[in-house]
Amino acid sequence: MASLHQTFTHIANIISYKSDQIKLCNDIKNNLIDWDDVVKVASDHLVLTTVFCRLQEKSLLNLIPNDLKQYLEEITAINRNRNLDLLEDIKSVSSLLSKAHINHVFLKGSALLVSDYFEDLGERMIGDIDILVDANQITLAKINLIEHGYKKIPLRLSDKYQKKRHIPRLVNNEKLAALEIHSQLLRVGHTHKLEALKVLQNKRNMNGVFVPSSKDLMAHNILDFQINDRGNYYNSIHLKHIFDGLVIAKKDKLLRIDTIPDYRKYFLFSSIYFLDFDSVNKTIWDKILHGFFLLRLKQKPLNNIWCFLIKKIVYLKVLFKRGILFLTNSDYRKDIIKVIKPKP
């Protein structure tokens, strides 16, 4: 079994636009790639279909095992058809919101998909359809969507007393994806780092659908992982977010923005595996982070211990906040007691 570092290296060589294709070809021919590990990690990072499309684009599919080729081909075909349906849903919701004069932009994968960032529609896996709406029009947007067949998902107790950047997901039994309507882009305490109002002001129309400017799209891609998914906290990477950054930078020729602290680790760690990003000029602290990151990924037991400890710290922080809420909010206490009270 390969180390996580080796697997990241192989996946990066496949999906990068600037990797050494001759070396990649030789690695495949010489059976130096553990495809089981590649499939597992690529699936976890939502880039399995990306792996197929990039191997196809590099004319390397004939070198991989036939059963793997067939599996990846089937998964990508399913995803391609799903994305075609999602495009129709995105355009339908966009039309609905525009007719109601609701100020909005589509985010993340939906924005990339509708803006033709991908050569193959099957390349990017998309879960929910994320939409940023003017905070003053959130209720209006929700009412309009409910009137057109969407319904609210029952609110979980854990979400009921938290201030969220989006309302509970809306689903439609006839549609593939749920809708997440956002009033903010980042977690509480970080909203000023990418202001929703400015993103709405800078929006552009791509194929009849409003999406963020390329600069805002890149910023949200980075900060969504670094802040919302706590990538900064865990000192980790996510290949989906890296590849999204690659396609945005490639199409829009964006300059790197690693001078901003919250973006820095994204480029510091991404540049280890992707030549598409120039190496960061490292401070002493950057060198320490860089070295420890590589050590963790090369030593699975150390990485497991690190992830376990960080998750426990996050859990304890959440537990502490819930404890304070339990002591100060009588409605929360009643709901908790109702949940844990034995049924007669």
Query: Do 284 and 319 have their domain in common?
Result: no
Query: Do 95 and 34 have their domain in common?
Result: yes
Bridge partner list, 209:
206
Query: Do 307 and 282 have their domain in common?
Result: no
How far, in Å, CA of 214 to CA of 18, rounded? 21
Query: Do 221 and 290 have their domain in common?
Result: yes
Bridge partner list, 151:
171
Query: Do 291 and 312 have their domain in common?
Result: no
Query: Do 91 and 219 have their domain in common?
Result: yes
Query: Do 32 and 63 have their domain in common?
Result: yes
Show the tokens assigned to 191: 């909203």
Task: Count CB atoms within 10 A of the CB of residue 340.
Answer: 7
Identify whether the C-beta of residue 182 lies closer than 8 Å to the C-beta of residue 107.
Answer: yes
What pTM was computed for the model?
A: 0.91
Query: Do 259 and 314 have their domain in common?
Result: no
Query: Do 87 and 120 have their domain in common?
Result: yes
Helix (H, G, I), strand (E, B) or coil at 239: helix
What is the extent of the structural domain holding 322?
Answer: 300-344
- Among 62, 75, 24, 54, residue whose Cα is nearest residue 118: 54
Query: Do 293 and 334 have their domain in common?
Result: no
Query: Do 248 and 123 have their domain in common?
Result: yes
State the total domains in the chain. Answer: 2
The predicted-structure confidence for 174-212, as pLDDT tens digits, reads as follows 999 999 999 999 998 899 999 999 999 999 999 999 999
**C-alpha separations of 114 from 3, 185, 326, 342, 343 in Å:** 36, 19, 44, 50, 50
Query: Do 62 and 175 have their domain in common?
Result: yes
Categorise residue 320: left if φ over 0, alpha if ψ from -120 to 50, beta otherwise.
alpha
Q: Indicate which CATH number applies to the domain containing 158.
A: 3.30.460.40
Local confidence pLDDT in tens for the 344 residues of the chain: 789 999 999 999 999 999 889 999 999 999 999 999 999 999 999 999 999 999 999 999 999 999 999 999 999 999 999 999 999 999 999 999 999 999 999 999 999 999 999 999 999 999 999 999 999 999 999 999 999 999 988 777 666 767 778 888 999 999 999 999 999 999 988 999 999 999 999 999 999 999 999 999 999 999 999 999 999 888 999 999 999 999 998 887 765 555 567 788 899 999 999 988 877 788 899 899 999 999 999 998 998 999 899 889 988 988 888 888 888 888 777 777 776 766 65
**C-alpha separations of 70 from 29, 45, 65 in Å:** 18, 20, 9
